[in-house]
């Protein structure tokens, strides 16, 4: 794995995102931690299209943890019913709001350890809050990120949790630009690129802008 390949991957993903990415998604246009957290919970095991149908209504009705902590769970269930899993998501959202209000005075922390202590919040959602709301250039590692990096650079995590794989996380951090605007473009870009081009099944290698450096393509 050459430093050139790392640099080319980073720059081409950013370029691709500027032209083809879903930068218009409402949660990507926002920078407050509550909006990012809500989107993270709603997007689990759910399609972007489904979340688009309820996100704006939910964030308008409950724009802060304080507005959510006193909400009726049944009302939230009804709002997010189209997504499914409303019986687990709605109580979780209220529990999150209550915890943030009680423990952090309604302000979501910009510290990884504190974020991971919140109910139902894992490393990916915590990292997205750090990136999008706290302006920290951290990597967002999920199966999409892992797939693109493995195919292009031939490197994959050795542990089930890539955030706890020191060697892999170091590479992921190296890929993310230090400039926060570019860091966001790269992270969201690699996610969109994996969904639209470097798919798990039927990847569109013919139109892939990374094919000349892709280890899988050149093998």
Question: What is the 3-class SS of 108-166, one letter each residue?
Answer: CCCCHHHHHCCCCCCHHHHHHHHHHCCCCCCCCCCHHHHHHHHHHHCCCCCCCCHHHCH
State residue 207's pLDDT score.
95
Domain residues of the chain, as ranges?
Answer: 3-23+138-218, 33-132
219 has pLDDT over 80: no
1 has pLDDT over 80: no
Tokens of residue 53, six digits: 């149908």
CA–CA distance, 118 with 29 (Å, rounded to integer): 24
Tokens of residue 34, six digits: 């509550």
Give the tens place of pLDDT for each residue, 100-152.
Answer: 999 999 999 999 999 999 999 999 999 999 999 999 999 999 999 999 999 99
What is the pTM for the complete model shown?
Answer: 0.94
Do the Cβ atoms of 83 and 112 come closer than 8 Å?
A: no
Do the Cβ atoms of 13 and 189 come closer than 8 Å?
A: yes
Between 92 and 3, residue with greater pLDDT = 92
Give the tens place of pLDDT for each residue, 26-61.
Answer: 999 999 999 999 999 999 999 999 999 999 999 999
3 has pLDDT over 90: no
What topology is assigned to 33-132 in CATH? Endonuclease III; domain 1 (1.10.340)
> Which class is domain 3-23+138-218?
mainly alpha
Give the tens place of pLDDT for each residue, 159-210.
Answer: 999 999 999 999 999 999 999 999 999 999 999 999 999 999 999 999 999 9
Tokens of residue 102, six digits: 């009680």
Neighbouring C-beta atoms of residue 147, cutoff 10 Å: 19
């Amino acid at each position: 794995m050459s430093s050139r390949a790392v640099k080319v991957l980073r720059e081409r993903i950013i370029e691709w995102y500027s032209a083809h990415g879903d930068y218009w998604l409402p949660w990507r246009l926002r920078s407050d931690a509550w909006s990012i957290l809500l989107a993270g919970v709603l997007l689990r095991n759910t399609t972007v299209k489904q979340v688009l149908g309820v996100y704006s209504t939910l964030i308008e009705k409950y724009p802060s943890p304080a507005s959510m902590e006193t909400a009726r769970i049944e009302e939230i269930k009804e709002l997010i019913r189209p997504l499914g899993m409303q019986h687990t998501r709605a109580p979780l959202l209220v529990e999150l709001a209550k915890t943030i209000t009680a423990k952090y005075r309604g302000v979501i922390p910009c510290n990884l350890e504190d974020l991971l202590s919140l109910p139902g919040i894992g490393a990916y959602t915590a990292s997205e809050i750090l990136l999008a709301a706290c302006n920290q250039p951290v990597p967002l590692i999920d199966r999409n990120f892992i797939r693109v990096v493995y195919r292009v650079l031939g490197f994959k995590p050795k542990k089930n949790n890539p955030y706890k794989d020191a060697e892999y996380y170091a590479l992921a951090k190296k890929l993310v630009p230090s400039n926060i605007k570019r860091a966001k473009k790269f992270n969201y870009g690699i996610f969109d690129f994996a969904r639209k081009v470097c798919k798990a099944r039927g990847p569109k290698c013919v139109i892939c802008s990374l094919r000349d450096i892709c280890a899988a393509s050149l093998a």
